[in-house]
Structure 1
Amino acid sequence: MTAYVHGYQSQENSRLHDQARTLVDLLHADTIYPAGATVLEAGCGVGAQTVTLGRQSPDARFVSVDINAESVEEARRKTEAAQLTNVRFHHADIFALPFEADSFDHVFVCFVLEHVAKPVEALTRLKHLLKPGGTITVVEGDHGSAFFNPDSAEARAAIACQVALQRQAGGNALIGRQLYPLLFDAGFGNVRVSPRLVYADASRPELVDGFTRKTFTAMIEGVREPAISAGLIDPRVFDRGIQDLYRTAQDDGVFCYTFFKAVAVK
């Protein structure tokens, strides 16, 4: 795994849960596993997606893992607070998971590959853990898909800073568009990718607040210091860009972003 460019502060914890709550129907309405199925959630983070998975498939059994021990404990607390009993946790690296081959019926990976320097290798290792005929579900964003009204060169420059920082850390903030070839190269079959568009305007105030403000703009705003320290942007340009991103959340503003969800078979 590469360095997590967003950090592990409490603000990032809150942002991830805001994102999960806002996008649950868009991304996960069709993520349901049958009774008795064993599902590996590879890269559970703070449990932002784990609670949704456990609730939507109460009779499936989940094993959720993450490389960060503090995140695993936070995820454990979240599932306990939600009174979920069908999830157990492991602190482990996705490249060194402590499971035998053919251990799981399904694998779920959400917002993880963007932080991985070798995504095809990660997917190949996960495929090894799937039973024959098992499926993998992968969800990723693509920061190159963001567009908005009013348009702003400064806002686009601020977004480019996050993309550049993630690239420097060994990740890829544009990975959503690559899910089909990545899964194909890892040897999966029947790869199907569907774009999931977030469209937020004043008629959808829950998306304006939950996604435009609290998810996307908050994420870009969070890289201000490392972006300036790395010499990627002038502070005044970055601050204007953030101001302009918040401007898209006003009554005449529009913000669009595309996630990509892929399902494939071993």
Structure 2
Amino acid sequence: MTAPSAQYTHGHHESVLRSHSWRTAQNSCAYLLSSLAPDMHILDVGCGPGTITADLARLVPQGHVTGIEHGAPDVLQQARAAAVAQGVTNITYALGDVLALDFPDAAFDVVHAHQVLQHVADPVRALREMARVAKPGGIVAVRDTDFAAMTWHPDDAGISLWRETHRQVARANGGEPDAGRRLLSWALEAGLAREQITASASTWCYSTPEEVAWWSSTWSQRVLSSEFASGALQHGFVTQEALDGMSQGWKAWGSQPDAWFAVLHGEILCKV
């Protein structure tokens, strides 16, 4: 059976990778960390520039972590170089597709995906594949953002338009931007047992002047230069003038002394 496809909404512009490289195991998969043991073998799906992946490898020094990314060899090369620079040796990077994982059944103690299922055309199939390659008694761990639940202050019309446009583009690309609230439902549809699933939520919150400046800077660039921008224009959702307004909105928000932004994530921890 041919796997359904979806286009990655963000792409791999420098501003996107700069944002993704901020992520660590501590700020992006804290819900999983207490379940790890030093000798585990972990699959990190959608590893991107590999900052979470390398952190996980450090937490399983007698084990091994495999990071896979779909269709982005340059990003994987960046991840490999970072691992070498950091002296992390128990790690392997490869191209891979969560809808058709190129691993045997029961290959990993933990199968992890951070902000991946929102970009997948068939998240239920993805979860079935993740469960297939997890060992009996192993863990499938997924965390995904929920764009509709993002909240910020002060209000800004440019940021509000960005969020609604992002949701339009993501769905036109075949994904689901409000994935966080749906993870439990998708896991049940994938056949995972309810009594073996822990569902939770956590946030990123940008509130200090340094955090606000960084967050607003990355997004003011992303709305103009990433695949989101070209997708929004190609689908006819907005004009270039509107994109410029979104960028200015991010800059204006970031200049406010009371600027605050919260990103809600849904999480599921599933025993297989």
TM-score category (smaller protein)? 0.7 to 0.9
Q: Quote the residue 1:143 is aligned against.
A: 147
In 2, the alpha carbon distance for the partners of 1:244 and 1:9 equals 20
1:117 corresponds, among 114, 121, 126, to 121
> What TM-score does the superposition give when structure 2 sets the normalisation length?
0.86
Q: Deviations over 1:75-107 (max 9, x none)?
A: 211211111011112222222222111111111
| Cross-structure match for 2:247 | 242
Alpha-carbon contact 1:15-1:214 (below 8 Å) kept: no
Judge which range, 69-78 or 138-147, deviates more: 69-78
Name the counterpart of 2:55: 52
- Which shows bigger deviation, 78-87 or 190-199? 190-199
User: Which residue does the alignment assign to 2:185?
Assistant: 181
In the alignment, which residue of structure 1 is the partner of 2:100?
96
Change in Cα spacing, 1:11 to 1:102, as seen in structure 2 (3 Å) is same
What are the Cα deviations for residues 198-219 of structure 1, in whole angstroms up to 9, with x where unaligned? 3333xx2343234x32455544
Instruction: Kindly report which structure 2 residues correspond to 1:43-82, keeping only aligned pairs within 5 A, or say none.
Output: 43-68=46-71, 69-82=73-86
After superposition, give the CA deviation of every residue in 1:245-266 in whole Å (9 maximum; x if it has no partner).
Answer: 3333221222222122221111
Paired letter, 1:27: S
| TM-score w.r.t. length of structure 1 | 0.88
Counterpart Cα distance in 2 of 1:75 and 1:58: 18
Q: CA deviation at 1:12?
A: 2.3
Q: CA deviation at 1:28?
A: 3.0
**Aligned-pair CA distance for 1:52:** 1.9
Cα deviations by residue, 1:13-66 (Å, 9 ceiling, x for unpaired): 222113x15xx5332345332122111112212213212212233333111112
- What is the letter of the counterpart of residue 65 of structure 2? F
Q: For residues 214 and 185 of structure 1, what CA distance do their matches in structure 2 show?
A: 39
Aligned positions, number:
260
1:20-31 equivalent positions in 2, closer than 5 A: 20=23, 24-31=25-32
Q: Structure 2 counterpart of 1:242, which letter? A: S
Gaps of 5+ in 2: none
Partner of residue 258 from structure 2, selected from 248, 252, 256: 252
Partners of 1:177 and 1:219 lie apart in 2 by: 25
d(CA) in 2 for partners of 1:217, 1:56:
34
Give the direction of change, closer, same or farther, for the CA distance of 1:128–1:151 in structure 2 (3 Å limit).
same
* Deviates further, 164-173 or 188-197: 188-197
- Measure how far apart 1:157 and its partner are: 1.4
2:271 corresponds to 1:265: yes
RMSD: 2.1
Letter in 1 for 2:29: H
Matched position secondary structure for 1:31: helix
SS at match of 2:51: coil
Deviates more, 1:128-137 or 1:45-54: 45-54
Question: C-alpha distance in 1, partners of 2:159/2:14?
Answer: 25
Whether contact under 8 Å (1:155, 1:238) holds in the other structure is no
Distance 1:85 1:207 in 2: 31
Q: 2:229 matched to which residue of 1?
A: 224
Deviation of 1:154 (Å): 3.4
Work out the CA distance in 2 between the residues paired with 1:170 and 1:141: 16
Within 2, Cα distance between the matches of 1:145 and 1:108? 23
Give the direction of change, closer, same or farther, for the CA distance of 1:93–1:234 in structure 2 (3 Å limit).
Answer: closer
Q: Could you tell me how far apart the structure 2 residues matched to 1:244 and 1:216 are?
A: 10
| Match in the other structure for 2:199 | 193
Indicate which of 77, 85, 90 corresponds to 1:86: 90
Q: 1:82 to 1:207 in 2, by over 3 A?
A: same
Cα 1:91/1:25, change in 2 over 3 Å: closer
Which among 154, 161, 170 is matched to residue 166 of structure 1? 170
CA distance in 2 between counterparts of 1:174 and 1:220 reads 19
Contact 1:159 1:220 in 2 (8 A): no
